[in-house]
Amino acid sequence: MKNKYFITDFVKFSKQLKTADVDAIQTELKEEYKALAVQYPKFHKMDLLSKLGFIATELLQKKVNFPSDTALIFQNNASSLVTDIQHQKSIQEKDAYFPSPSIFVYTLPNIVMGEIAIRHQLQSENTFFISENFQADLIKNYTQSLLDTKKASASISGWIDLNTEGYNVFLAFISEKGTLPFTTENLQHKFTA
């Protein structure tokens, strides 16, 4: 059977620090945001995982257009752990108990998909998976299922992981346009390469 879907394009970037340094990541993502030259003040309110997703999809959108039913199928290792730790710090000591709603709301991994949906007005399928390593097979099969059943006409699918020592982002735009067939092998290869 001829492959109907293609990896139309993708973005990929990562950082591995020698030690945990959330502030350094924060500073760097702010620079990345400035380099995008877009006006989106909400960026500064986002947690780091959402900032990563924002930057990745801005970069991707320079290369492809997202139809409004573009699905978001993301996966990572650490869920929202960096923000979880931040929230935990605000409740750990009984005499310094100051939980904040603006942090707490980001203690879910799928919030990054919500932020991207708002930014690009995607009223679409969202699913967030967690696993130790990128499961190209799952992401391919799940995305394919949504496309085959017409629940989405395209998808942004991939890996978006953040911990206190760095991050790793690989988001691919899958649609009927392109030359690189959407297969598990090709997805894995682009992730690893």
Partner 1 sequence: MDEVFITDDQIISPLGFSSEENVKNLRNEVSGIQEISDPDLAPFSFFGAKINRENVAEEFNAIGPLSKYTYLEQLMILAIDKLLKKNTETDFSNTLLVVSTTKGNIDLLKSLGDFPEKRVKLYELARAIQHFFQFKNEPLVVSNACVSGALAVGVAKKMLQQKKYKNAIVVAGDLLSEFVLSGFNSFQALDDKICKPYSKNRNGINLGEAAAAVLIKKQSTKKNAIKILGEASVNDANHISGPSRTGEGLVKSVEKALLEAKISSEKIDFISAHGTATLFNDEMEAIAFHRLGLSRKPLHSLKAYYGHTLGASALLETIITKHSLTQNELYKSLGFSENGVSKALNIIENPKKQDLQIALKTASGFGGCNYAIIFEKKSV
Exactly one of 8, 107, 155, 175 binds partner 1 (CB under 8 A); that residue is: 107
Helices 48-61 & 81-92 angle (0-180, nearest 10): 160
Minimum Å gap between C-beta 105 and partner 1 is 5
3-state secondary structure of 63: coil
Give the whole-angstrom CA distance, residue 38 versus residue 5: 31
Binding of partner 1 by 151 (CB under 8 A)? yes
Pick from 104, 166, 178, 180 the residue near partner 1 by CB under 8 A: 104
188 interacts with partner 1 by CB under 8 A? no
Contact status: 3 vs partner 1 (CB under 8 A): no
Answer left, alpha or beta for residue 178, where phi above 0 means left and psi between -120 and 50 means alpha.
left
Of the candidate spans 10-18, 30-38, 114-122, 178-186, the one that interacts with partner 1 by CB under 8 A turns out to be 114-122
* Of 152, 78, 137, 143, nearest in space to 112 by CA: 78
**Residue 78 found at the interface with partner 1 (CB under 8 A):** yes
Among 19, 39, 149, 179, binds partner 1 (CB under 8 A): 149
Handedness of CA 107, 110, 113, 115 (dihedral sign): negative
Answer for which of 27, 88, 177, 185 binds partner 1 (CB under 8 A) is 88
Q: Which of 100, 177, 185, 189 touches partner 1 by CB under 8 A?
A: 100
| Region from 2-10, 18-26, 144-152, 177-185 binding partner 1, contact rule CB under 8 A | 144-152
Rounded Cα gap, residues 1 and 67, in angstroms: 26
Instruction: Report if residue 118 touches partner 1, rule: CB under 8 A.
Output: yes
- Nearest Cα residue to 8 out of 189, 188, 193, 187: 187
